[in-house]
Structure 1
């Protein structure tokens, strides 16, 4: 569908909720395909979510992860059980606020908005708020939800947990702080993140699409203005594409060219085609940094008498796919 008919399926049907939340669907996710969408897509991709911006916003990640680590450290000292779900959800709200403050201070972004307004693009204050809300609400939701699922799957499989801990700690060694360059060397961590996104994509269905004209897809004649849902959860567990699809096996991505960048249609947690998520680099950098720090700073075991056999990985459905995880952290002391 996306490979051959991407432009036909690029519209986004309006909903009452989207109109209310995003100032009449003026955000990137729900705005109709056309000149306005192309302009704000370019704005977000080049100024908010580019590789350069990923570096620029690193201080926001560091501050927020440091805050989480301090809370977990205090709990570890006291021997307390940590509600990791609640902690990550609380941090997500703070994270969104800090990111928006950082954007307000980003002079290049503001100057480009002003120029686009002079050129006639309808970028009111409400439109700008809609764009920012869309980008960073989605990005932080991805980070917190996926980090929780990664930790859940690792605690379910202690051998995998041990392997990824060794991967992270071998690279970080006795460092006080993990940086983005370190993440590039943590090869098995990247496999863990990919496998988590495969089994537990942040959303079951991509944001719905609509056809702009009639199209024949396989044996089906699809009329214009048809709403289309793409079931990512089912695609990424399809045994046609995946061996033992229900199993958490990060090794499947070792020496594999399959990636979540939208070119491999069996693995599309961030969507595909021209309406994929431009926030992917930002979300992945945040996710890898958070999980790497959790694994580097602490040893983990299940809390409240939970065992690997009793740990429930059944998903609860809402805006994203989530669960509840209570854990017992122990401070990791690297050998000198």
Structure 2
């Protein structure tokens, strides 16, 4: 009996063997957005031998991330992310199965509850205070600050204490962690030929050097994690209650994980997520927010006026102050909208045949949700390319995964579990930066010269590092 022809989404013509890979370019999220203008909100593309669909509007994203979430929330096997995460023993790249469900439940119940986030409040406050002291010193010397570098260091210092119980400053890991972080995210975002060309892909990856780069990164990362675990096991302080402590208790069986017994590779796989998702996303989010503010003097002036009017006690700024800073909350939302730190959600895979937006999506189809296209959709956002925080004044749209026009942390089962932990640091840091200092660009630069282009990676940083000079004020 003949199979009925499937009604697949429309898409661009494919080339033999490579499919549509040649159309991705250096910014796949932008290239896919341009293609979607011609082929629609749900588009079929072929990446080598892999059948893929791309969602580019909030309506289709809602179908994938909510209505059919359970059928669309698994992950395909990706060669190098699998290697980096100890064979998908993590939370981000693991397929949808019983192990993933148990780990996800554990992270929500044990690691990322509001109570747990609050328990690390003193860590954030201490590290931000240290950062403020560094800025004061730079201001007195009129030295520009490389925000990409320094905010990565701040975020790393917080997460190394929260996740590993390690003070990064002065530790053996201080000089290697940022290299580990940057190179790991590069490998995780790489297009591996092996994933798209099963027969010759392995050879291509060896010729291009991607295979050897991945192995080098994996060895450095593994050494970093081994040192962190060794440091933790040798520490005589038994009162520590950080993430690594919890995972080691699961390894020993002291804490149960359903029917699963964690091994050291499970522990390290989950810690990779803490490193990559916990540090890089918070740091890049803060860089983008400051970049947009310095590029938009009107908004900077308005948000600083609000912060300085609302904050009464400069010696006791807390992350709770965000609740009173309505305009700053709008600025944060607008920055997430116009510069999503993860413009393409991590690739999903359909686990069964599903029908989305009237089209057939066969089992094993890869699914891309293009956040950048959703956030730039003129049907949802007036003047989408303009930075206008006031657009959030009269609506209830938030970034926590329930409003599909704004999804910086994703939605559904795969929503980022560390959102609360990351945003607590973002809030505290931004309030301090805006309250205590004025900011100016290096000599010869004006606001219109600020480069707001991104470099594509798993987490997208600014293409040109943001350099700003702090100015001491009466609020310092």
TM-score > 0.5, shorter chain as reference: yes
Q: Which residue of 2 aligns with 1:144?
A: 283
Q: Give distance in 2, aligned partners of 1:205 and 1:169.
A: 36
Q: For structure 2, list consecutive stretches of 5 or more residues without a partner in the other structure.
A: 1-62, 167-231, 233-239
Post-superposition offset of 1:146: 1.1
* 2:329 matches 1:202: no
* TM-score for both structures, normalised by structure 1: 0.93
Q: Which residue of 2 aligns with 1:30?
A: 93
After superposition, give the CA deviation of every residue in 1:256-289 in whole Å (9 maximum; x if it has no partner): 2111111111111100111111111111111111
Distance 1:213 1:297, change over 3 A: same
- Secondary structure of the residue aligned to 1:66 is helix
Q: Which residue of 1 aligns with 2:389?
A: 250
* 2:146 matches 1:11: no
Distance 1:118 1:299, change over 3 A: closer
After superposition, give the CA deviation of every residue in 1:169-211 in whole Å (9 maximum; x if it has no partner): 2232232131132122111111111111111111111111000
Q: Which residue of 2 aligns with 1:80?
A: 143
Q: Higher mean Cα deviation, 312-321 or 113-122?
A: 113-122
Question: Which of 259, 265, 270 does residue 398 from structure 2 map onto?
Answer: 259
After superposition, give the CA deviation of every residue in 1:295-333 in whole Å (9 maximum; x if it has no partner): 111111111321012222122222322221111111122
- Secondary structure of the residue aligned to 1:317 is coil
Post-superposition offset of 1:142: 1.5
Q: Give distance in 2, aligned partners of 1:191 and 1:80.
A: 30
Question: Residue 66 of structure 2 contacts residue 411 of structure 2 at CA under 8 Å; is this kept in 1?
Answer: no
Q: Which residue of 1 aligns with 2:102?
A: 39
Q: Give distance in 2, aligned partners of 1:111 and 1:68.
A: 31
Matches within 5 A, 1:176-325: 176-323=315-462, 324-325=465-466
Q: Give distance in 1, aligned partners of 2:335 and 2:148.
A: 16
Q: Give distance in 1, aligned partners of 2:100 and 2:378.
A: 36
Q: Higher mean Cα deviation, 214-223 or 273-282?
A: 214-223
Distance 1:239 1:55, change over 3 A: same
Q: Which residue of 1 aligns with 2:467?
A: 326
- Secondary structure of the residue aligned to 1:176 is helix
Question: Residue 12 of structure 1 contacts residue 30 of structure 1 at CA under 8 Å; is this kept in 2?
Answer: yes
Question: Residue 99 of structure 1 contacts residue 136 of structure 1 at CA under 8 Å; is this kept in 2?
Answer: no
Question: Residue 117 of structure 1 contacts residue 123 of structure 1 at CA under 8 Å; is this kept in 2?
Answer: no
The alignment covers a number of residue pairs equal to 335
Post-superposition offset of 1:90: 2.9
Distance 1:191 1:283, change over 3 A: same
Q: Which residue of 2 aligns with 1:57?
A: 120
Q: Which residue of 2 aligns with 1:106?
A: 241
Question: Residue 81 of structure 1 contacts residue 304 of structure 1 at CA under 8 Å; is this kept in 2?
Answer: no
Q: For structure 1, list consecutive stretches of 5 or more residues without a partner in the other structure.
A: none
Q: Higher mean Cα deviation, 61-70 or 5-14?
A: 61-70
Q: Higher mean Cα deviation, 183-192 or 205-214?
A: 183-192
Q: Give distance in 2, aligned partners of 1:9 and 1:148.
A: 32
Post-superposition offset of 1:136: 4.5
* 2:293 matches 1:173: no
Question: Residue 236 of structure 1 contacts residue 267 of structure 1 at CA under 8 Å; is this kept in 2?
Answer: yes
Q: Which residue of 2 aligns with 1:95?
A: 158
* TM-score for both structures, normalised by structure 2: 0.67
After superposition, give the CA deviation of every residue in 1:15-53 in whole Å (9 maximum; x if it has no partner): 122222111111111112122111111111121111111
Q: Give distance in 2, aligned partners of 1:174 and 1:277.
A: 33
Question: Residue 330 of structure 2 contacts residue 393 of structure 2 at CA under 8 Å; is this kept in 1?
Answer: yes
Following TM superposition, the consecutive aligned residue runs of length 4 or more in structure 1 with deviations greater than 6 angstroms are none
